[in-house]
Structure 1
Amino acid sequence: MDKFIFFLVLFLLFSCKNEKTNPYIGNWYFDKVVNYDSTKVKFPMSILETEFAPHYNFEILNDSLIDYKQGFYYTISNKVWQAKERHEFLRSYYFLGSKTNYKIDKSNILFFNKFSNSWDTLKINKIWKDTMIIRGYENAFYRLVKKQNNYFDDKSYDAITIYRSPCYGSCPFNSTYIDRKGDLFFKPYSSNTQTNNLQSKLDSAQVKYYFNLFDKIPIQKLKDNYSIQATDSQTNTISFFKNGKIVKTISCYIQSPVDLDKAYSELSFAYQNVKVEFDDEFLFDEKVSLFSFINKDSKFRLKDSESFFLEVALRKGKQVKKEVDPKYTLKFSDWNEVSDISGITTDGRYYKILMKDKTIKIIDIGFNFMEKNPIIKKNREN
């Protein structure tokens, strides 16, 4: 008993000492720009907060490892797009992860930039308790606050889909699906390092890793839409499902909660970091623009990430022989208009697919999507 107390006291002393000697350990979030002097800073406050401030969100994990939440990317220009008799190189990105080594030098944080293979510096102006002031981009001062997050929920949803839209440039344009059983599906449309539809069966550690990114986020407390007044950028739409039911769909245009941004960014690049196989079982090889269920009275439109969930459900469904009640026409638009499908009717569970060669197949997705999701019959803000 005396030995136990002795070792317990040593442990507590060591923990207290570690906390005192390394006040940097913790989860740091950008709070606001302080000491802003418009005569010395050439950008308006709004640009500092939207373009530069996201770089100041990170977690110091221990005495040597930092999670730089923006992540590190290697850029390649290997695709050519032709328009109006001119050629432009489209970029693709390799995700290099977000965790890297760091060290403290004269109170500053030096972290190893995996993209440049060099050390970058976070210039600490002041740190006390749960507050840190960094002198950063444009010599402005950025205030960070340390927050502890004890939230965790792995029961509310069992599948996630992500849709990343095109933009005026070379944004990674794609869709990703993952579920807790380990199924991952990926469809690339433009500016990706793969050009084929892919699938993977993740092991338990991989499933845990990717879902943990989201499970620590209280998604039900997040807004349905995040955006700022700007043009030509990318929209990221994320949907969460439980047994086929839409739990939550969140749309992010430029602005996004920090941890959600990190989570969907990492998952959308998962295809680069897991073992994948070519997949030719999707009904549509190309991008499908927004499924809509149409009857004589109404049109019920799915959002992009919800459409991809239904597309995966059709991909995973079983072909059966059955009469289908054509309660709805499933409207679709094939991105490049190369599909062999001429029309789809459904009762919500069974989908009658008429091919252009006049053949028919019936797919059972295993549940009634319309009955599971009365939310799509509501007037939802896009």
Structure 2
Amino acid sequence: MKKITLLVACITLIISCKQKQEIIEKPESSIEKENLPVEITPSLNYVDLVVVLSENSNLTEAQMLLKNNNLTIDKILIDEDYLKAGLVKVPENDKEEWKNKLSALDFIQGIEKNSKNILNTINDKYDNRLITINKTPCFGDCPVYNVVVKKNGLVTFNGIKNVLNKGLVKFQLDNQQLQILNEKFSKIVTNNYKPIYDSRNPDLPSTNISFKGTNIKIRLWKEVPLELIEVHEYIIEHLLDKKYIE
């Protein structure tokens, strides 16, 4: 009986060992790699458009408004009181469409193609100033003010110090007055003047005159050509008549 019990125990042990040694291998599921097509986005070429802002437009405000159209001013070309312009990049393929869109905006007065001489182009085409006169301080009570006369006869006076009218004011020359000024102005030859007519007297104020891309600083008037003196005096007469200065 003991032999039978021992035999059964041995058989059970052998079967148990065989079960532990069996390894059930599962076949690996093969995953086929899909050859998906790669979508290539074509690179965009950009071109520079020069936007010239309308008169009295603010560059910061213009930048914000352009952002609404997903554009930005990449470079400021001109930032003066009388004129502001900057570069805007647009896709080359959509250049004409963007030119039309930009031209329709109220704060833009013109669109130009960028070029080597773009600054000259902008000034010649959009700078509508006829002449600018700035009076600087002296050690006494000399009047300090700025005057801009535009080609259409609009005069802007900005009184700063020792003037009868402080602040900004505008008035319009009538047709006859503008004609007289243009006749006087026609006698001016831009390459006929020194950049500075100076004096050794440090107390004298300076009169800075700008016109046609020419800038002249005057502290001593006796050497200034007569035609320039006449233009200056004609403008000053109107300021005296308006009682802006005395």
TM over 0.5: no
Q: Quick one: higher RCO (CA 8 Å, sep 6+), 1 or 2?
A: 2
| Higher helix residue share | 2
Q: What's the TM-score, normalizing by structure 1?
A: 0.28
Q: What's the TM-score, normalizing by structure 2?
A: 0.42
Based on CA coordinates, which of the two structures has the bigger radius of gyration?
2
